[in-house]
Amino acid sequence: MDYIIGVLMNLVIYAAPFVILYFVITAAVRKGIDSSETGRVILEKYYERKNKK
């Protein structure tokens, strides 16, 4: 039983930083795309295509 708890704790300890890093990178990329002129044009074209369907 202690072995299983230890494995789960190690999994949480090692996986949690990657999950946090994923959300930080996702937010940064989204903010970068939203603030750039090229990103705005790409998003406008994406939503135009999406609305046509």
Model pLDDT, residue 32: 85
Model pLDDT, residue 31: 87
Q: Is 2 among the domain residues?
A: no
pLDDT digits (tens, 9 = 90+) for 15-41: 999 999 999 999 998 888 778 888 888
Model pLDDT, residue 25: 95
* Tally of domains in the chain: 1
Q: Which domain holds residue 41?
A: 16-52
Pick the residue with more confidence: 43 or 18?
18
Q: Is 4 among the domain residues?
A: no
- In this prediction the pTM is 0.59
Q: Dihedral of CA 37/40/46/48: which sign?
A: negative
Contact present, 39 and 32 (Cβ < 8 Å)? yes
Q: Is 35 among the domain residues?
A: yes
Q: Is 5 among the domain residues?
A: no
